[in-house]
């Protein structure tokens, strides 16, 4: 959730937008635009050729399908192929109540959603692209935390390994006791890699299972660039796990 300072900035940004639009009161659309600017960055011009634009639509629709048809995932709020910040497209989910703990199933589902974009590119277009870089960065970090910090691996067991600025990627935290060997660290990386491959496979299965819904969303994005939640439910169907 937003802090008090964040909320003050949100109200101020919404007020500035309303003033620029010549409005006498701040409308819900002003708050939506202010939220997007704060969380996602400013909208920007990006000259994409038709093939690139379609790939972005396929990619973002992949995230959306993975989120919509997975259990333990926050509901979709909006999907857009309008570039914002460094991203060429964004799939937003509705923030729920402030969370301090996430279950293993929720984290696994998050991995599937992160892999949904690349999975859709592979299934629909037959190739992958550099557009998944940030997704893979987030997914890799999460998978390593699940294995090395949260004890969510049967093969590694309930242990905590602390990332360090050292030649090895992970090392033991504090005590210096085993397991901190290269073999243990390699096992952690391999287990994280297994989780990522599993998540990508599940994402690909969701794209195959809901290919028609995916294609409808791609078409809507190419026509309108942004699709909000009410239309998302119409295009994708009822949000239930496959």
For the domain made up of 1-40, the CATH class stated in words is mainly alpha
pLDDT in tens, the chain (242 residues): 555 666 777 677 777 777 877 887 788 767 666 566 656 666 666 678 999 999 999 999 999 999 999 999 999 999 999 998 778 999 998 876 667 899 999 999 999 999 999 999 999 999 999 999 999 999 999 999 999 999 999 988 898 887 553 334 544 444 444 555 677 788 999 999 999 999 999 999 999 999 999 999 999 999 999 999 999 999 999 876 55
Read off the tokens for 174: 């504090």
Distance CA(174)–CA(163), nearest Å, equals: 11
Q: Give the pLDDT of residue 166.
A: 38
Q: Give the pLDDT of residue 167.
A: 39
| Adjacent-strand bridge partners of 93 | 76
What is the domain partition of the chain in residue ranges?
Answer: 1-40, 41-236
Q: Enter the CATH code of domain 41-236.
A: 1.20.58.760
Half-sphere exposure of 233 (CA within 13 A, CB side): 8
**Catalytic residue among 60, 92, 121, 202, which?**
60
Report the residue count for the chain: 242
Residue 60 a catalytic site member: yes
Q: Give the pLDDT of residue 133.
A: 96
Among residues 158, 208, 161, 155, which one has the least CA distance to residue 182? 161
């Amino acid at each position: 959730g937003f802090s008090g300072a964040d909320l003050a900035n949100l109200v101020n940004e919404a007020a500035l937008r309303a003033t620029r639009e010549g409005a006498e009161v701040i409308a819900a659309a002003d708050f939506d635009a202010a939220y997007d600017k704060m969380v996602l960055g400013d909208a920007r011009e990006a000259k994409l050729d038709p093939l690139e634009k379609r790939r972005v639509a396929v990619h973002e629709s992949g995230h959306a399908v993975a989120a919509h048809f997975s259990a333990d995932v926050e509901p979709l709020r909006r999907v857009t192929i309008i570039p914002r910040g460094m991203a060429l497209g964004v799939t937003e989910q509705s923030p729920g109540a402030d969370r301090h703990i996430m279950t293993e199933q929720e984290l696994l589902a998050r991995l599937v959603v992160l892999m949904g974009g690349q999975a859709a590119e592979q299934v629909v277009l037959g190739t992958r692209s550099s557009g998944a870089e940030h997704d893979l960065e987030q997914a890799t970090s999460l998978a390593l935390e699940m294995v090395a910090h949260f004890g969510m691996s049967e093969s590694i067991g309930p242990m905590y390994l602390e990332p360090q600025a050292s030649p090895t990627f992970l090392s033991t935290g504090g005590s210096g006791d085993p397991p901190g060997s290269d073999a243990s660290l390699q096992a952690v990386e391999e287990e994280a890699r297994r989780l990522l491959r599993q998540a990508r496979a599940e994402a690909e299965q969701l794209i195959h299972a809901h290919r028609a819904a995916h294609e409808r969303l791609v078409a809507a994005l190419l026509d309108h660039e942004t699709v909000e939640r009410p239309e998302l439910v119409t295009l994708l169907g009822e949000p239930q796990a496959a």
